[in-house]
Every structure is written in structure tokens, then in C-alpha cells.
Amino acid sequence: MATYMPDDADRAARDLAAAIFVGTPEDVDFQVTRIGLIDSERLEQGQGYSGLGPYAELARTATRTDVREFRADLARILKRRDVDETLRTQLEEHVRDDPMQLARSRMIDHHRVRWGRVFNALSEPVGRSIMSLTFLPFRLGNSLLNLALAERQREDLSRHERQALDHWKRFIEAHPESPEAAELVARVEEAQLRWFETQRDLSLKRGRNALEKGDPLLAAAMAERTLRFSPEDGDALELLENATAAGQAYKQSRARSIAVSDDPSVVDPRQRELLLAMLDPGAPMGPPAARLLEALPEGGPLTDEAAFVLAMSQFEEQGSESAGWDALEDVAETDDDLGDVNMARHAAALLGSTNQHPYLAFQAARGEATEKRFRWLAFGPLAHGARDRDLPRSVEWLVELPTMMGVAMGAPNRILRFPFLKSELSRPATLARRYLERYPNGEYAGEVREWLIDYERDRGNHVGALTLIESAPEPDPDLIEKVRPKAAEQALVASQREKQRDVRQRLLREVAQRFQDTEAGAQAGLALREELEQASAQRIRISRGFLEEHPEVAGPDGLALVPGLIDGQALNGELHPEGITLLGGRWVELSFLDESGRDGDPPERVRRRVSEERIARLVAQLEESSRELALTDPDVNHEHDADRDAFFERARLGAIDDIDVRPHAQSSYTFMGAREKYGMVRSRESILPVEIVLQGSFEDFGLGAFPRIRMPKSTPDAFLFDD
């Protein structure tokens, strides 16, 4: 290539750089004007823009100290015609990242949500009542009532306002001397006060809920937090006093339960035999406890301890679950007959523990799941009671009275859907597994295992069902023969979905060995063999669509492919849609169309070794194309892949032959074209804030159409400003 000779535009760019670093503002303005004159001359000669004009103005803008001048310069640059798409995208992102612009956008979102809810609350009942105006007053009144209640529960400072407050603070910190900062101070102080009020209300509400649920420690913590936002608040002080009293009562009760006397004279000598029986692994517990119960008067000291030990002996010595739990229930009921009894509380705790008594919890969970279905059948949207609106419970039910009409109208629909509605059985299944783990040969193991097998089969988990069938003391061979092929297919599909190579190979090997007598097992063996034969350090794929959209990657500065490979003519050796795969080191795999010339048929693969320089050029072109695409295409999601980046870095450094063969170092990233991802026509969201909604209801078989204001989408940092 001939040596490049600088022209007037190049020399002007050099002089501009010198003026920025060592010159005066007047020198910078002169050089920017000079570049503009050069562009004017080029246009007169029909040569087009040099492309230096926007960058020259951007360089001058970077020297501005006044924030208003800086933003005005950016706006002026964006209006130029000779701004390329990459620079335009960068400048637009910079403008969007301006704290004042972000705060303005969040406040717009706040008002849009605030008034959009009012508009939607009025338009929906009107639109749904077009075909039946009889229900319009009822629906409109119900909607206005819900809107008023929602407004009552609205926080003093919404999430969008909190985001705007943060942006205002950042702007003031970055530009304290600007005129805008002085204007913002009052707004920030007012918003900060509202933020404290919001936190006060939230903390107080959470503290009261915690106290109602029997958690005095959390309630006290929330009360103290409330006092930090609102010192000497009467409600917070009252909550703190109540929580402290409840906490003291809890501590006293606990201390009484675990209290031990050091005075041997107060210990009943009859306890010795009972304690030795409990502590000695070889000694039976039942006889000493039974003798003690016979010798003691009913309701006297140690009777509850002896009854508890006797109940526990049913599990340990007789192996009878039902008898043991029945005896523990009798001990737990003594609390009702004799008052506060220590061992009655222990027995009740064992009965209520899902770990100690999973079968009882399993039965309760099944009953609860069935009850939920029938509650939905009877009450529909009110199956779980009146919605929590931070009002007295009786008032909340009064508010729900208008909903009763919809519940009654939707009854026929619920009756039709009820046979097809499945119960939520994940919790009963968890408890069933817990029971089988704790009591694999228990009294109810057969019943629980049978139920769990049916549950796993119904939800398509044939591998889990097969494991349960085989774990039975006497497995059913007919059932195993029926479930085994389905379990093999499920295991094969799951192993093929695994992305990490070594884990995938290990899973395939297990499927081939465990299900060797099934068709899926044979397929797993073949897949494992293919995996081992085609194993490579990397599997970074560049699709044909990506090469077509980015010819620089396939051109002389990239892969240097023959142009005919991606010209759409199958007769001259067209690439398969799979494209090209980087296998690690300097090896690449090219996938060509087979003799049929159809894209859907398996490709013919050819491996070639290329030079280090070629790999380095390819990596540079891939990264440059990806960055440009991310800047110019708003739909592109540039996915992160650490293994891909590590391989590219080694390629740039010339360490490509030092191959990292560890399985977890392999990347399976794919560079795909936009058409492959989104199709011929991409879906776009409307820029209008209003949408037309066609809505039907299964509850009352209503149908309507109405306009609705679309709520703004959450920003990526929205979770930082949630309650």
C-alpha cells in the first residue's frame, strides 16, 4: 500500500489537538472554524463531508466549564447532518445520562402514572359497559371507590420522585456553583421531608404488622427506625412500648422453660430413673415412664414429663408412628386441662413441626390445596378474603361489597372451569419427600410414595417417578416398564440442554449406562461419542447471517473468505447457516451446504488451521462490529461471556497456541445476524402514550374496548428505589 499523505483536513485536526492542549479558547475556535471551511470547500467540489466537523465541535465542547453551555453544544452537534450513527448514539446516550434530563424524565413518568391511573379508572368501566349500559353506574362507582382507596394508600414520595430526588442531588454535588443548583435546593429539601414521612409511615406499618404476627423484636426495631425519621412520634413511642412489653414477656416465658435449679434438694428423686432411661441408649424408656405414671396422682408433678417420655418410647421401642403421635396429642391437650404445662408445649411443637411430623403436615397441605380450589369456586376473586387496604377488617369487607356482584355473575364460568383447574401441590410434594427421607419404611411410606409417584407422573417428571418406584421395598415391574422409556427420554433431553461440556458429557454417560436398554439410552451413547470426537477448546460460532450483515468480518481484514461463499448461490460452495466456528487455538471449522443445497440439512464440516495474525484480525473485527452494532441498534443486547473474552484477549496477545483445555473455559457464544434474531420485520413499540385495549372477562362474560394510558417502563435502577 502507498504511504498515506496528510491533507488539509488532517493538518487542521492536528492543529486543533495542539490548540486544545496548549492553546487558548480563541485558538480552539479558530481551528474549529477552519475545519468547517474545509468541509464547505469539499462540498462545493462534490467530495462530501470529511467527517471531522462533529468531532471538532465535540472536542471544543469538552473544554466547557459551564454546564449550560455544554448541554447547548451537545444539542447543536446533534442537529448537524454530518454526524455518523455511532457518534450520534454516543451523544444521545450522554444527553440522556444528564442528571437534569433524567430527573425531568422521572417527573414526567410520575405525573403520567398519577393521572394515567385516574384516566384508566374512568375509561375502563365506560368501555366495558358499551354493550350493557345497565352496569355502567355500578362499574364506574366501583372503579372510583378503588381509585380513592389506592390514593389513600399512595406513598408521600413515589418511586419516580425518589429517583428524581437522587438525580437532583447528584447534579447539585457535581455543579454546586451553577444557577440551576440554587433553584433545586428548595425542591430537594421539600422532597427530602416527604421522603422521611414516607419512611415513617412504612416503618410504622411494618412494625404494627410484626407485632400482630407475634414478632416483638422486629416490631421494636421498626419502631426505633420510625423514631429516626420522626423523633418523639407518638405512634412510634406507643408501638415501641408495646413491643418492649411483649418482648419481655417472651423472654420470661423462654427463661422459665429452660430454667434449671442447682439445688439438689429440690430435685424429685423419682426423676433419676426416668432420666437414666432417657440418657442410656440401651435402657428402655417405656417401663420407667409407665411405672412413674402409675405411682403419681393425676395432674401431679412429673406426670406430663412421664407421659411425654412414654409417648416417645412408642417411636423408639415399638416403632409405632400412629400410637406415638396419638400419645403426643394427649400430652399436648393437657395444656388445655391443667393450664400452662411445659411438656405440653414441647409435644405441641413436635406435632406442629414439618420436620418432626411431616405426615401430619403433608395431610394438612393436601387439605389446604383442596380447600383453595373450593374457595375459588365459591368466592372467585375473594377466595382469600377482602384485600388488604390498611383499614379495619370490617371496613375492608364493606368496600368489597360491590365485588360480590361480579362474584355472583362469574359463578357459572367458575363451575365450567373447575374440573380443569389443578390444585397447587408443590408444598404437599415437598412434605411427602421429607417424610420418605425421614421414615423410608414408616407406616405411611407406601401411601405417601404412591401419591408422590402419581404427582410426579402428572407433572411430567418421569425420572423422579422412576426413582420413587425403584425405591419401594417391592417395586412394581409393570409400572417400571411403563415409566422407564419416558424417564430415559426426559433424562436425554435434560442432558443435551446442559451448556458446560464436562457436565453434559457426564450426564450423557449416566443416561447411556442407566437406560442402556432403551432407545433414548442408545441415542445418549451416540451423542456422547459425537461429543468426544468433536470436542474442542472453544465453540464460538459466527453465523452466515452475521457474515452477510458484516462483510468486514468475512473480508480481507477478517477471515478473508472467498466472496462466493456468502453470495447466496449454492452452486459455488455456499456456507451453511451455521457459518464458521472457532475451535480454539488456530483451528476454525467451516460448515458448507451439502449436496442437496438446502439450509435445513446437516452441513459438511471442514477444519482448517490459520495463522495467528488472521485470528487476531478476526477477533478485532468481531469486537469492532459488535461494539458498533450495540451503539447503532437499540434492539441489540450485547451479552457478556467471560470465556469468550478470555479467548479473544489471548488471541490479541499472540498466546493463541497455549490452549486452555479445561471444560469450564469453553465458550459457546454465537454471533448472529439481526435478521436471524428478529426476523424480516421487527416489532416496535408505539411512541404514543395511549393504547386501545380489547378486554373480555370470563367472570361475567363481558366484552369492551377502551383507551388506556400506558404506564412507563421501569428503569434498570428502579429496584434501588423500591421500599
- C-alpha cell, 156: 408521600
- In the chain, the largest separation of any two C-alpha atoms, in whole Å, equals 120
Residue 334 has pLDDT above 70, yes or no: yes
Residue 422 has pLDDT above 70, yes or no: yes
Chain Cα centroid distance, residue 249:
40
**Which of the two residues, 166 and 71, has the higher pLDDT score?**
166
Residues 604-632: tens digit of each pLDDT: 989 999 999 999 999 999 998 888 887 77
Residue 42 has pLDDT above 70, yes or no: yes
Q: Whole-angstrom Cα distance, residue 386 to residue 397? A: 6
Domain residue ranges of the chain, discontinuous segments joined by +: 8-97, 158-254, 271-352, 540-665
What's the whole-number mean pLDDT along residues 427-437?
92
C-alpha closest to that of 558 among 650, 621, 628: 621
* Pairing mode of beta strands 540-542, 670-671: parallel
Q: Whole-angstrom Cα distance, residue 317 to residue 278? A: 12
Q: Whole-angstrom Cα distance, residue 18 to residue 34? A: 14
Q: Whole-angstrom Cα distance, residue 411 to residue 376? A: 10
Residues 228-277: tens digit of each pLDDT: 999 888 999 999 999 999 988 878 767 765 665 555 555 556 666 666 66
Q: Whole-angstrom Cα distance, residue 354 to residue 432? A: 10
pLDDT score of 316: 65
Give me the percent of the chain exceeding a pLDDT of 70. 88
- Tell the burial category of 256 from Cβ atoms under 10 Å away from its Cβ (0-12, 13-18, 19+): exposed
Residue 10 has pLDDT above 80, yes or no: yes
User: Of the given ranges (273-277, 352-356, 544-548, 693-697), which has the lowest mean pLDDT?
Assistant: 273-277
Which CATH architecture group holds 158-254?
Alpha Horseshoe (1.25)
pLDDT score of 711: 87
SS3 307: helix
Q: What H or E segment, with its residue span, contains residue 21?
A: helix 8-22
Q: Whole-angstrom Cα distance, residue 310 to residue 326? A: 11
pLDDT score of 118: 87
Residue 178 has pLDDT above 80, yes or no: yes
Query: Given the C-alpha cell 405440653, which residue does it identify?
Result: 344
Q: How confident is the model at residue 464 (pLDDT cuts 50, 70, 90)?
A: very high
Q: Whole-angstrom Cα distance, residue 16 to residue 35? A: 9
pLDDT score of 702: 58
* Pairing mode of beta strands 587-592, 690-696: unpaired
- C-alpha cell, 446: 407406601
Residue 541 has pLDDT above 90, yes or no: yes
pLDDT score of 286: 67
Q: How confident is the model at residue 389 (pLDDT cuts 50, 70, 90)?
A: confident
User: Of the given ranges (147-151, 171-175, 595-599), which has the lowest mean pLDDT?
Assistant: 147-151
| Residues 575/591, Cβ–Cβ less than 8 Å | yes
Does this model's pTM top 0.85? My answer is: no
- C-alpha cell, 85: 450513527
- C-alpha cell, 332: 399436648
Query: Given the C-alpha cell 421531608, which residue does it identify?
Result: 193
Residue 1 has pLDDT above 60, yes or no: no
C-alpha closest to that of 179 among 97, 304, 67: 67
What's the whole-number mean pLDDT along residues 373-377?
87
User: Of the given ranges (184-193, 215-224, 383-392, 468-477), which has the lowest mean pLDDT?
Assistant: 383-392
Residues 83-137: tens digit of each pLDDT: 888 888 888 888 888 888 899 999 999 999 988 888 888 887 777 776 666 667 7
User: Cβ neighbours of residue 572 under 8 Å, at least 6 residues apart?
Assistant: 564, 565
pLDDT score of 134: 67
The single-letter DSSP state of residue 665 is G
The single-letter DSSP state of residue 662 is -
In total, the chain counts a number of residues equal to 723
Residue 408 has pLDDT above 90, yes or no: no
Q: Whole-angstrom Cα distance, residue 658 to residue 667? A: 16
pLDDT score of 515: 92
DSSP code per residue over 354-397: TTT-HHHHHHHHHHHHHHHHHHHHHHGGGTT-S---SS-HHHHH
Residue 681 has pLDDT above 70, yes or no: no
Q: Whole-angstrom Cα distance, residue 531 to residue 525? A: 10
Residues 584-601: tens digit of each pLDDT: 889 999 999 888 888 888
SS3 692: strand
Average per-residue pLDDT for the chain: 83
What's the whole-number mean pLDDT along residues 542-555?
90
Residues 492-537: tens digit of each pLDDT: 999 988 888 888 889 999 999 999 889 999 999 999 998 888 788 8
* Backbone dihedral angles phi then psi of residue 688, each to the nearest 5 degrees: -75, 140
**Which of the two residues, 327 and 615, has the higher pLDDT score?**
615
Helices (H), 410-558: 411-417, 426-438, 445-458, 462-471, 477-497, 501-514, 519-533, 544-549, 551-554
